């Protein structure tokens, strides 16, 4: 398939893997920031091709994983309202809040719908004027323009029964939070290609400079990742720390200016809670100015108990790359995709779920749960 098969070509993959093996002289730890990249790495078994010196750790770039539990609780509370139609991207539905997930309340007859675009939710609002249609606006910079457009369109068309439950997070502040932690193990970053398609490269230069860390903006196909790893490795081996762009077919240095403009019109930067990481200053978007009337947070006051994370879940350590999913005592035993303790086990982009589904266990390929768990 055009634009897909050429990036999964086995011969080209082997050539890049050989170049990596030839270049590497010592152990390096590289973090792929985005959950979509984690997904490709495990799905294609890419680590099988890498020399043992290279350790990939899986970053916080899964929007499902970092959405705080309290916000899930809020979403569940709104969805339970008899006058609400709650719309979300598919993989948010299974994320456990403190007592329930959106799937649970759907089974209890709440009107919860999977949509592919916030504009579909807006259409539902037009079709159901007697209902409150709420869209769960989750995601990184990548999904922000579409959500901004939905708010703008609602304002333009004067639609009042529509709102956004916003949990937008930003990649560069999270990278900085990781790098400034004393536990930081990351020596180089594969930055998230799609985020940079929107935002461009500028934000990354000061980070590379300040923390002396190579940052390579990388795509999502197996060959993209191998090339991104190779480019990061070259910088590490040569003692450089630049911002480089592997994903040139999608990312321009200045990003997508019209998309940035629509984001700036609708959103402003705000502090945000990250599940597993805590509050990071200036790390999210919230609706601003005349668009605040579309803020579901304001429209539906929520007075739930502060949510408590399961003490057994080590998702914070996993999202920082300090631990690998299979190093968690609950992994595949108490915590499974049917019964997740924490969000990284929920989304297919979550590192724990990716490890579970694709069997990237430390010692050998085992199918968890179906086989005996005593080997752990």
Please, which of residues 317-356 interact with another protein by CB under 8 A?
332-341, 347-349, 356
- Choices 25-33, 149-157, 257-265, 361-369; region in contact with another protein by CB under 8 A: 361-369
Q: Given strand 132-139, what is the order of strands in its sheet? A: 112-114, 84-88, 132-139, 162-169, 278-287, 267-274
Contact between 359 and another protein by CB under 8 A: the answer reads: yes
Residue 158 is a binding residue for another protein (CB under 8 A): no
Length of the chain measured in residues: 376
DSSP 8-state class, residue 7: G
Mask for 189-208, x = binds another protein (CB under 8 A)? -----x--------------
13 binds another protein (CB under 8 A): yes
Does 218 contact another protein by CB under 8 A? no
Cα–Cα distance for residue pair 321/177, rounded to 1 Å? 12
Q: How many CB atoms lie within 10 A of CB 103?
A: 16
Q: What are 39's two structure tokens?
A: 């997904």
Question: Taking the mean position of all CA atoms in its chain, how far away is CA 175?
Answer: 13
Q: Does 366 bind another protein (CB under 8 A)?
A: yes
For another protein, give the closer residue by CB, 104 or 265.
Answer: 104
Q: Which of the ranges 124-132, 170-178, 234-242, 363-371 carries the binding residues for another protein, by CB under 8 A?
A: 363-371
Q: How many residues bind another protein (CB under 8 A)?
A: 77
Residue 357 in contact with another protein, rule: CB under 8 A: yes
Segment 33-62, which members bind another protein (CB under 8 A)? Answer: 36, 39, 42-49
* Contact of 38 with 62, CB cutoff 8 Å: yes
Please identify which residue in 59, 60, 139, 321 interacts with another protein, judged by CB under 8 A.
Answer: 139
* Position 170 contacts another protein (CB under 8 A): no
* Residue found by looking up tokens 């911002």 in the block: 243
Which residues in 231-290 contact another protein (CB under 8 A)? none
Closest C-alpha among 179, 201, 188 to residue 238: 188
> How far is the C-alpha of 328 from the C-alpha of 344, rounded, in Å?
12
List beta partners, residue 57: 31
What Rg value do the Cα atoms of the chain yield, rounded? 21
Question: Interface with another protein includes 8 (CB under 8 A)?
Answer: yes
Closest CB to another protein among residues 28, 136: 136
Interaction mask 100-119, another protein, x per CB under 8 A: xx-xx-xxx-----x-x---
Strand partners of residue 34: 61
Q: In the complex, what is the shortest distance from the CB of residue 247 to another protein, in angstroms, rounded to a whole number?
A: 14
42 Cβ contact partners less than 8 Å away, ≥ 6 residues apart:
354, 355, 357, 358, 360
Of the pair 139, 200, the CB lying nearest another protein is at 139
Burial (0-12, 13-18, 19+ Cβ within 10 Å), 355:
buried
Residue 29: count other Cβ atoms within 10 Å of its Cβ.
16
Binder of another protein out of 37, 142, 235, 315 (CB under 8 A) = 142
Give the shortest CB-56-to-another protein separation in angstroms.
Answer: 12
Instruction: Give least dist CB 241 to another protein, A.
Output: 28
């Amino acid at each position: 398939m055009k634009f897909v098969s050429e990036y999964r070509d086995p011969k080209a993959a082997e050539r890049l893997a050989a170049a990596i093996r030839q270049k590497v002289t010592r152990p390096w730890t590289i973090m792929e920031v985005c959950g979509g990249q984690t997904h490709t790495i495990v799905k294609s078994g890419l680590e099988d091709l890498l020399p043992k010196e290279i350790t990939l750790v899986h970053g916080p770039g899964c929007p499902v994983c970092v959405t705080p539990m309290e916000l899930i609780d809020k979403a569940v509370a709104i969805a339970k309202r008899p006058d609400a139609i709650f719309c979300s991207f598919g993989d948010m539905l299974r994320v456990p809040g403190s007592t329930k997930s959106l799937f649970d309340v759907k089974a209890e007859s709440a009107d919860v719908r999977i949509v592919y675009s916030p504009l579909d939710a807006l259409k539902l609002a037009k079709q159901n004027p007697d209902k409150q249609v709420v869209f769960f606006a989750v995601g990184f910079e990548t999904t922000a323009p579409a959500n901004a457009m939905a708010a703008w369109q609602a304002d333009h068309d004067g639609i009042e029964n529509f709102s956004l439950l916003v949990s937008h997070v930003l990649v560069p502040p999270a990278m900085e939070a990781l790098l400034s932690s004393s536990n930081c193990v990351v020596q180089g970053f594969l930055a998230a290609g799609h985020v940079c398609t929107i935002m461009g490269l500028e934000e990354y230069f000061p980070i590379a400079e300040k923390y002396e860390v190579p940052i390579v903006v990388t795509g999502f196909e197996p060959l993209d990742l191998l090339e991104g790893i190779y480019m990061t490795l070259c910088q590490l081996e040569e003692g450089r720390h630049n911002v480089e762009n592997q994903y040139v077919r999608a990312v321009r240095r200045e990003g997508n200016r019209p998309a940035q403009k629509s984001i700036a019109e609708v959103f402003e930067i705000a502090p945000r809670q990250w599940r597993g990481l805590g509050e990071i200053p200036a790390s999210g978007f919230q609706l601003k100015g005349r668009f605040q009337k579309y803020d579901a947070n304001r429209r539906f006051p929520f007075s739930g108990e502060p949510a408590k994370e399961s003490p057994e879940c080590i998702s914070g350590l996993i999202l920082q790359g300090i631990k690998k999913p299979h190093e968690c005592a609950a992994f595949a035993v108490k915590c499974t995709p049917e019964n997740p303790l924490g969000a990284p086990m929920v989304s297919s982009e979550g590192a724990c779920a990716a490890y579970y589904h694709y069997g990237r266990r430390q010692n050998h390929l085992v199918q968890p749960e179906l086989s005996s768990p005593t080997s752990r």
